[in-house]
Structure 1
Amino acid sequence: MPRTSRRQPETLAAVAPVEPAAARDAIGHLWLDTASVGATSTWQVNTVTVDTTLTTLFSVVLCDASGGALTITLPAASGNDGKWYRIKKIDSSVNTVTVDGTIDDDVSAVLTDQYEAITIAADASKWHIL
């Protein structure tokens, strides 16, 4: 199967079921044709200034806590296998951004410095910092 620029290797999370036997190339790499499942290479970027509960519509979350401390609440990891978020504090204030949800067996993660960021991903049972 020839590779095109619209195909992603198996190291990325699939957003739709794929038939592994049909999607493997001659040397065994699994490929997902993103065009066939309607996937795009764009990320949803949201800037938040108030407490926010994340949904599947979020990907990159820029947190402006200049008006006060913020809490970003994660959805349950169950049902979100392969979902990831990049969360970044963008202001220079002393206010914190708390990412609320069990992450690597801690009850939350706290961003305190301007430009501090974390990337987290779910494995259907819990969230992990990458």
Structure 2
Amino acid sequence: MLRLVRKIPLVLSFFSLLGIPLAEAQFTPGQILTAAQLNSQFALYVPMAGGTLTGPLTVPNLTVTSTLSLSTALPVASGGTNSATASGTALDNITGFSGTGLINRTGAGAYSFTALSSILQGSNNLSDVGSASTARTNLGLGSIATQAASSVALTGGTVNGTSVGATTASTGAFTTLAASSTATLNTLASSGATITGGSINGTSVGGSTAAAVTSTTLTATSAIAMPNRTITASTSAAATDYVVLVNAASGAVTYTLPAAASSTNRIFVIQKIDSSANAITVARAGSDTINGATSQTISSQYGALMLQSNGTTWTILGNTIATLG
């Protein structure tokens, strides 16, 4: 207990010196004040409105109801930065921000860091990809992605919708065409084509077996061998016929020409090689004519006819005298 006698005016004088306006305390001389009564009386004067305090002041709890200005920065040691300025050090002092790399928020109040070495850098232009082949596979790129434009190898797939290596023809333009086996050509440019190997219609180029060839100019470096065959019975012209030797010893033989319209400029040489009296008849196809007639006859041994189609009729170019009947 505190006995307060005549010292209250001294206390009031102290607060007056501090510039604190005071209300009059309601005490009586000789009144004994409890701590609660004394604190209640001080509550009339604190907080202050104006005035200046000098010297150290210890306040257990401080409540600011308006603006609080500090002459210097106030460091915050716990849960803050312990730094007077906002700097890299300030962030480093926050728990959980001590890693290196890119920060990633993984949940409420939880963070992790990703090393820059595991992330693609734009300035590296994909040179930092760990496995280029795996990356191509993931992008759906095949082996052709690594082939040079001047050296592309196709081992499958299609070109213009046609399977590579299949038997279905497709258009292609090549500077040089090399065939490892049989090559089938459809139409060659009229300006000419050079074939140094392979085959035409299954016949080797330069071989001894004749094959049908259409060209603007035919130049031979040696003798030209024309095909011939011998027949002993009636038959029609074959696609490879040129010289036809007819043996009619067993009976009369009729040799039928192809249609003149489908044989423009084609030449036939037909000869009777036997000595029998059996005649050889050279017959037309359809309504064609042979020198205006429907047929021609060879009746003597070694008698022969040379004929050529002009696209409409057959014309006799030469014959052995006295063999026409």
**TM-score w.r.t. length of structure 1:** 0.71
| Alignment-derived partner of residue 110 in structure 1 | 297
Report which of the two has the higher share of helix: 2
Letter in 1 for 2:254: T
Code of the residue aligned with 1:60 in structure 2: it is V
Determine the C-alpha separation between the residues in 2 that align with 1:106 and 1:96.
17
SS of 1:78's partner is helix
Partner of 2:243: 60
* Matching of residues 1-130 of structure 1 within 5 Å: 15-16=214-215, 18=216, 32-34=217-219, 41-101=224-284, 102-130=289-317
What SS does structure 2 have at the residue aligned with 1:106?
Answer: coil
CA apart distance, 1:56:
2.5
Q: Which runs of 4+ in 1 moved over 6 A?
A: none
Any gaps of 5 or more consecutive residues in structure 2? 1-212, 318-325
For residues 218 and 307 of structure 2, the distance between their equivalents in structure 1, rounded to whole angstroms, comes to: 25
C-alpha distance in 2, partners of 1:105/1:46?
27
Distance 1:122 1:33 in 2: 19
Alpha-carbon distance, 1:105 to partner: 1.1
| CA distance in 2 between partners of 1:33 and 1:45 (Å) | 20
How much identity, in percent, do the aligned residues show? Answer: 35
Q: How many Å apart are 1:45 and its aligned residue?
A: 0.8
In structure 1, what is the equivalent of residue 50 of structure 2?
none
Q: Which runs of 5+ in 1 are unaligned?
A: 1-13, 19-31
Any idea what the Cα deviations from partners look like across 1:1-35, whole Å, max 9, x if unmatched?
A: xxxxxxxxxxxxx932x3xxxxxxxxxxxxx2446
- Separation in structure 2 between the aligned mates of residue 123 and residue 112 of structure 1, nearest angstrom: 26
The structure with more radius of gyration: 2
In the aligned structure 1, how far is the partner of 2:218 from the partner of 2:225?
A: 16
Distance 2:296 2:236 in 1: 15
Aligned residues: 99
The one-letter amino acid of 2:295's match is S
Equivalent-residue separation in structure 1 for 2:219 and 2:241 (angstroms)? 19
Equivalents in 2 of 1:44, 1:33: separation in Å? Answer: 16
Task: Give deviations 1:57-112, integer Å, cap 9, x for gaps.
Answer: 10000000000000000000002111000000000000000000120110000000
Letter in 2 for 1:119: M
Ranked by relative contact order (alpha carbons within 8 Å, sequence separation 6 or more), the top structure is 1
More strand by share: 1
**Partners of 2:258 and 2:308 in 1: CA distance:** 11
The answer for the alignment partner of 1:4 in structure 2 is none
